Amino acid sequence: MILNGSEILLECLLEQEVETVFGYPGGAVLNIYDALYKYKDKIRHVLTCHEQGAAHAADGYARSTGKVGVCLATSGPGATNLVTGIATAYMDSTPMVAITGNVTRPLLGKDSFQEVDITGITLPITKHNFMVKNVDDLAHTIREAFRIAQEGRPGPVLVDIPKDITAQKGVYIKKEPVKVARSNKHITEEALLEVSKLINESSRPFIYAGGGVISSGASEELIALAEKIDSPTSASLMCMGGFPVTHPLYTGMIGMHGTKASNLGAWECDLLIAIGARFSDRVISSNDNLEGAKIIHLDIDPAEINKNVKVDASLIGDIKESLRKLIPLLNKKDNKEWINKMNIYKEEGRGTSKESDELTPEFLFSKINELTDGEAIVTTEVGQHQMWASQFYKHIEPRRFITSGGLGTMGFGLGAAIGCKVANPDKLVINIAGDGSFAMNCNELATSYAQKAPVVTIIVNNNALGMVRQWQNFFYEERYSHTSINRGTNFVKLVEAYGGKGFLVERKEQLEPALKEAFNSSVPIVIDYRVHEDKKVFPMVAPGALINQIIYEEDV
């Protein structure tokens, strides 16, 4: 079949069962958009307000479904506007294919209008990237991009296509997509025996589960492991929902803003089992935290083993496959004394609830939990509100908590929420935002309205860049340099200008009626939920401190 490059591109997307592309047109991709017009009954194009919004939407689409997200942008500034979204996906191992246009081949390298070396720019933040210089290579390149994005540790791949390639004719032969096999060639019998021996010998095992558990679909296997060896189980920010909060062995999030039970569990265990996690500085803080325990590391990426922490044994491969092969080798355990100790820490960590008329994050999430029972998809921006969402929302299923963990991208949540809603139109999607983060990409409210993808944004509004202000309070002697916002933005009027509806919540009795209406709305909703500017995230471990040196609210 003879097709032009743009048609070959779209046929290859159809091969990969792509139903939705998030993007923004421009001169270098005009031929692709002309083809999209012809293919509009087969591929939905979601026009965002900004290319960064398209990248975040593709990311949210991918994380909530497990499929590859696809975004599309023109050359030059269109391509560079994708960079933050690509880097976000790279840090959190999200499968994404970003397609960019470029100037025609004769103009490459001549500082042409809207020319940029996007493959050079994105080299450190992609698993791989391509520039297509021959139309006969285009189909193979697109297929390779999807394979690479999904294979092994998932991540983003960029394909840059000069404009003349999108117009040239070439031969297209349809092919079935290559099924990406689970990585298990390094899961050797020797490694399995070494790991199982350490687990069987331990009396105080502790599991630290990361985002790889969700990427590999291994939540059931993680639960089976924890139950068989009777191990307290914590989760990183990226694993929220990978182990249900309702399970009696769950100890909560681990790390800088982790629970008392999780942090002390990691400190006092005799065996730390890290699964699909990378020992981030926000979790481990200092390697001195791990000197008292043996360490096992299960990860699909060999580069992560011994990168941040020296381990005693490891299993390299897909987490689901690793756990399937490991669990039968383990002895059934009953660590009653150890579990009782963790239960005491869990109870102590809950603290004493204080009745107050003041609006708090705890009150907000208690109402959200009451009305959703953990069944909504929750996205977040980045900051204090993100930590409160991880601490207080009822995370019971994987792929329902979508947040920027590694890069910490302010402005991520609304675009990601739109991607989640497009992928899951029958699910309630809630974006938890801060007033600082929300201002960065609030223009995507227009996308939410135009695409009939209504999401509910709840702004935990403290009139400040709350997390930075919290650090200034703790570590900079209360020098609040440029973290009080004082912009006077009327978020209710703002969302109304975009065709949605807003609610101002300043008293407790206003919250539940606002949430009930918001959760049944067919237009974008913004709830401006006012909290005090000095409300802080607790508990907290200072950067570089030992993980048992936990700061509680009553300490301050």
429 with 444: CB under 8 angstroms?
no
* Pair 195, 150 in one domain: no
Residue 338's CATH number: 3.40.50.1220
> Given 144, 171, 198, which residue is the final one in a domain?
171
What pLDDT, on the 0 to 100 scale, is given for residue 350? 84
DSSP structure string for 232-290: -EEE-GGGBTTB-TTSTTEEEE-STT--HHHHHHHHH-SEEEEES----HHHHS-GGGG
- Beta-carbon contacts of residue 420 (< 8 Å; ≥ 6 apart): 60, 61, 63, 64, 377, 379, 402, 427, 429, 455
* Pair 152, 281 in one domain: no
Residue 396 lies in a domain: yes
Strands (E), 186-247: 205-209, 233-235
* Pair 204, 288 in one domain: yes
pTM of the entire predicted model: 0.96
* Pair 241, 149 in one domain: no
Residue 456 lies in a domain: yes
What pLDDT, on the 0 to 100 scale, is given for residue 214? 98
Q: What is each CA distance from 388 to 381, 433, 538, 541, 542, in whole angstroms? A: 11, 11, 9, 15, 17
* Pair 373, 511 in one domain: yes
What pLDDT, on the 0 to 100 scale, is given for residue 227? 98
* Pair 374, 333 in one domain: no
212 with 319: CB under 8 angstroms?
yes
Which secondary structure element, helix H or strand E, spans residue 274, and what is its range?
strand 271-275
What pLDDT, on the 0 to 100 scale, is given for residue 112? 94
Residue 508 lies in a domain: yes
Residue 143 lies in a domain: yes
- The owner of tokens 């792509």 is 18
What pLDDT, on the 0 to 100 scale, is given for residue 284? 82
Residue 370's CATH number: 3.40.50.970
Other CB atoms within a 10 A radius of the CB of residue 267 amount to 18
The parent domain of residue 231 ranges over 189-350
153 with 182: CB under 8 angstroms?
no
* Pair 36, 102 in one domain: yes
Residue 492 lies in a domain: yes
Other CB atoms within a 10 A radius of the CB of residue 553 amount to 13
* Pair 262, 217 in one domain: yes
Which residues are known to be catalytic?
51, 113-114, 163, 467
* Pair 367, 294 in one domain: no
> Given 171, 204, 225, which residue is the final one in a domain?
171
Q: What is each CA distance from 129 to 23, 33, 111, in whole angstroms? A: 18, 22, 21
What pLDDT, on the 0 to 100 scale, is given for residue 498? 98
Q: What is the dihedral angle through the alpha carbons of 523, 384, 382, 417, rounded to the nearest 10 degrees?
A: -20
* Pair 308, 433 in one domain: no
Residue 545 lies in a domain: no
**What pairs with residue 250 in β-bridges?**
233
Residue 208 lies in a domain: yes
What pLDDT, on the 0 to 100 scale, is given for residue 353? 62
What pLDDT, on the 0 to 100 scale, is given for residue 182? 85
Which secondary structure element, helix H or strand E, spans residue 227, and what is its range?
helix 219-229
131 with 166: CB under 8 angstroms?
no
Closest CA to 56 of 274, 397, 380, 369: 380
Distance CA 118, CA 503 (A): 42
* Pair 305, 374 in one domain: no
Distance CA 347, CA 360 (A): 21
* Pair 7, 144 in one domain: yes
- The owner of tokens 């048992």 is 548
If one counts the domains in the chain, the total is 3
Residue 553 lies in a domain: no
pLDDT in tens, the chain (556 residues): 999 999 999 999 999 999 999 999 999 999 999 999 999 999 999 999 999 999 999 999 999 999 999 999 999 999 999 999 999 999 999 999 999 999 999 999 999 999 999 999 999 999 999 999 999 999 999 999 999 999 999 999 999 999 999 999 999 999 999 888 888 888 999 999 999 999 999 999 999 999 999 999 999 999 999 999 999 999 999 999 999 999 999 999 999 999 999 999 999 999 999 999 999 999 987 666 677 799 999 999 999 999 999 999 999 999 999 999 999 999 999 999 999 999 999 999 886 666 788 999 999 999 999 999 999 999 999 999 999 999 999 999 999 999 999 999 999 999 999 999 999 999 999 999 999 999 999 999 999 999 999 999 999 999 999 999 999 999 999 999 999 998 999 999 999 999 999 999 999 999 999 999 999 999 999 999 999 999 999 999 999 888 889 999 888 7
What pLDDT, on the 0 to 100 scale, is given for residue 352? 62
Query: How many helices and strands in the chain, by DSSP H and E?
Result: 23, 22
> Given 350, 379, 414, which residue is the final one in a domain?
350
